[in-house]
Amino acid sequence: MLNGDSLTPIYVQVAEWLETEILNGNLRSNERVYSQYQLADMFNINPATAAKGLNILADQGLVYKKRGLGMFVSPRAGERIRRKRINRNLKRLAQELAMEAERLGVSREELLDLIAEAWTQARKEELE
């Protein structure tokens, strides 16, 4: 789940894990999010580190605080995370892939075929 050997700080990994939970539908709009203490127990980390991860999501408007009750998933948080990850991850990867294909002399059609093949393989593996 979290990787202590990663260059990515633990609190960022906590925030990304929570984003993934929202994307996967495990945490839904207006549903209570794990507390900093629950996260600390789950990942065997300091509660302050867990709180820092939660605060990243709060600062981005993906969760909101209800005084005395905790943090809750903001409406449309899943769509906002999806757009953010498309812009941050997929567009960058697509650009790198296109540049490498150009360097290797791979045509647009060949590249699209490779992507379609990878898509099919990923879906098969997901279903297994």
Q: Report the percent of the chain where pLDDT is more than 70.
A: 100
Helix, strand or coil, per DSSP, at residue 70: strand
CA 97, CA 91: separation in Å to the nearest integer? 10
Segment 75-99 mean pLDDT = 95
Residue 1, pLDDT above cutoff 80:
no
Res 51: pLDDT: 97
Half-sphere exposure of 26 (CA within 13 A, CB side): 8
Res 82: pLDDT: 96
**What's the gap between Cα 85 and its chain centre?**
7
Q: By CB neighbour count within 10 A (0-12 exposed, 13-18 middle, 19+ buried), where does 34 fall?
A: buried
